[in-house]
Chain A
């Protein structure tokens, strides 16, 4: 951020999150025994004090015209931000659907969509790389390491194929 005016809006996100969580922690533990809340109260009040100092520091900086309340560092450059938002949407969709799609098919679709959002071309390459990665992961996580990841149509097909071969 050197050379640019500090964006105080972005600088405040973590302190605000920390402050909100601390207040939530202190309220929900207020009726508990001292052993359950001693550490939280000590750390929590220190954190609140530091957040207040940070807010005062930002306010002074703003009054003196050193920065603005923008969020530029979080959302720029715009092209990269679109990719980030696209990837986050794909990841959330992947987590929401993986119990039904299974890890193999879910990863294949997620990776293919991810590569497309990131700008990989042509489509054939997207499909080949996604398929290979999904297959390797499905075999590694479910076949070799037996992690209990959700099974879907791809895993059932492999299972059926292996049984038929036997």
Chain B
């Protein structure tokens, strides 16, 4: 694509600011609310987007979609309620930062990481689109099994403090994730006789229960979310933490870049999504960090990694749709309906027949990120003050409103009950140090892992050696082993170094 065309597209998309901005605002609200996502909002807005010219419709849909990913991180950081499943990993370090009175800092980090990882993923997509479009074809079930394992190893990482408890929690989550019909014969498994569980445990109610309801029950014994010593810092009226967050994110630009790229590559694979990307990015960030022990207790790099992975996915999911005509996720499937309604034929032809639209989508996305950072960063200071509301108000509001939100995804009252059950499990897990995030990783990644594993094993008629049958899979296996061994090797080297520098016993 020529620079001239890029310039033209940028100017033409800039004229659509009036439609990009409402998309961003609605997206942030939808992302903030657990139970709502870009997909169901875009479905509800189909009458509006179908009536618009296709360029307008796409500018609106992509800005809403990207903003949803960003908005999901806000409640994850402030009240430990991930607005979207992709923001679940953000709670791990975002919420501890809030409890330390650094909510404004964490929000700014999250916004800057989200926007710039999304921007970088967009630029890379525009530059390498033909190459990226075939990448999805090379990542099949065999390779995806290994990608899933990258995410699942986070269970072991989370379990670092008490390995046994962490692993029990993670495997319990994996077992819960297997509820529902199997992927081959559609036979219901462990559904307790409930028809509502045939599709598996609904993710949003489980998420709401494990995080929102459980955390609200924990809050009941405190006056405020923040500790007494952190109140003055949390209630600061200045921009100090916003500036600190922007500076920190700028200093850690490489972290933003690579986690965004992890999100992009995972997003390209049809069926893989933001939750996988954010957990994989977080796990890798911790593995390679010089201070892995700080992760989970409010390490800023943890927030950057989770949000970077979460937002890098946005461009990735559009690649297979635009280049191959295969939607990369449910949201891009809704977008495809709009394109097809306007008579657009997806696939490689789109880039030769209508480059303005094909590349315009990504340029529009790039612009919406730029608008987003201008809109959202100044608000971090005000949003962070939510933690100063007394828990006597927050607890009933969080429990009842999120239980209502649990209904929204599938419109079953049953799902509200699921949220309550998971709330009780989450509360017990929190109180007894069985990590809820480990349970959630199992619930989210378990069914997807099983799907790819069974698919691969069926292809080989049950022979597990198929998992080592492709070059890409073998490279991924190597990377997985390396990333697991690296922290152990590093800590061994550190110990040896410390032993070497220690004076011999008996020396003064």
Contact = CB atoms under 8 A, between A and B. Distances in A.
B175 A107 contact: no
A43 B174 contact: yes
A91 B185 contact: no
Interface residues of B, number: 63
Interface in B370-422: 391-393, 395-397, 399-401, 403-405, 407-408, 411, 413, 416-417, 420
10 contacts: A14-B429, A21-B172, A25-B190, A39-B449, A50-B168, A84-B217, A87-B395, A111-B400, A149-B408, A149-B411
Interface in B174-223: 174-176, 178, 182-185, 187, 189-190, 213, 216-217, 220-221
B244 interface: no
B397 A111 contact: yes
A83 B221 CA distance: 9
A94 B400 contact: yes
Contacts of A98: 413, 416
Nearest to A150: B413
Given A1-B433, A84-B427, A111-B397, 5 more contacts: A33-B187, A35-B182, A50-B167, A98-B416, A141-B405
Which 8 pairs between the two chains have the least Cβ-Cβ distance? A114-B396, A80-B221, A36-B182, A18-B172, A47-B171, A118-B392, A147-B408, A35-B184
A91 B399 contact: yes
A35 B454 contact: yes
Contact of B395 (A11, A17, A74, A118): A118
Interface in A104-121: 107, 110-111, 114-115, 117-120
Interface string A37-67: 1111001101100110110010000000000
Contacts of A110: 396, 400
Interface of B: 30, 36, 41, 44, 164-165, 167-169, 171-172, 174-176, 178, 182-185, 187, 189-190, 213, 216-217, 220-221, 391-393, 395-397, 399-401, 403-405, 407-408, 411, 413, 416-417, 420, 424-425, 427-429, 431-434, 446, 449-450, 453-454, 457-458, 462
A43 B393 CA distance: 41
Contacts of A79: 221
A28 interface: yes
Contacts of B404: 103, 107, 137, 141, 149
Interface of A: 1, 10-11, 13-15, 17-18, 21-22, 24-25, 28-29, 32-40, 43-44, 46-47, 50-51, 53-54, 57, 73-74, 77, 79-80, 83-84, 87-88, 90-92, 94-95, 98-99, 103, 107, 110-111, 114-115, 117-120, 129, 133, 137, 141, 145-150
Contact of B189 (A32, A57, A87, A119): A32
B156 to A, nearest CB: 12
B432 A36 contact: no
A11 B41 CA distance: 42
A20 B92 CA distance: 29
A118 B392 CA distance: 5
Contact of B172 (A1, A47, A147, A149): A47
A28 to B, nearest CB: 6
A87 B217 contact: yes
Nearest to B391: A118
A95 B217 contact: no
B396 A115 contact: yes
A60 B65 CA distance: 53
Contact of B396 (A13, A28, A34, A118): A118
A38 B168 contact: no
Contacts of B434: 14
B145 to A, nearest CB: 11
B399 A148 contact: no
A33 to B, nearest CB: 6
A21 B396 contact: no
Contact of B457 (A13, A38, A83): A38
